[in-house]
Amino acid sequence: MPVALPRIELGDITPHNIKQLKVLNQVVFPVTYNDKFYKDVLDVGELAKLAFSIDIVVGAVCCRTDMQEGQRKLYIMTLGCLGPYRRCGVGKKLLDHVMKIAKDDGQYDAIFLHVQISNDEALQFYNKFGFKIIDTKQEYYKRIEPADAYVLERSLKERQTGNRFIEIRNAIFTS
């Protein structure tokens, strides 16, 4: 008999539930985030969400907008869920939310994040969504081993550029 997946709802991060995000991050991630991180999360609106299953926080995503070399990118600072809820669609729901924001905005060139080089589960997860390793940051993490991180990125402009090329090529051949 198949196991029913829990229903997952996304909710805002507010001053009233920010401590739940802190606890979740302490359980899920091997790094500690400072108070400034949590203060900043309260100011990003839709770029930070909690995932709830029957009113229990089971996951979260926190992002920010970065400018790099003239490109506007969405940076996933954290995306994680409690172990028992992995492979239940929580991460997918959180990542789908982030990708929808980027798509609807239309001004992001890419989405990127850092993943510890030994985190095969995360690497496989992001690969399924079209993220590619574009760089390795030596000694990225402090006080955890391995300290190196991959930079993963999913370009958002390739399709638009490709479609634009087709439009231009068609206009040339039909003129």
- Residues known to be catalytic: 75, 114
Residue 148, CA distances (Å) to 20, 37, 76, 80, 170 in order: 28, 21, 17, 19, 46
Beta partners for 81? 59
Sheet with 9-12: strands ordered across: 9-12, 48-53, 56-68, 71-81, 110-116, 149-155, 132-137
One-letter amino acid for residue 153 of the chain: E
Q: HSE, CB side, 13 Å, CA atoms: give it for residue 6.
A: 21
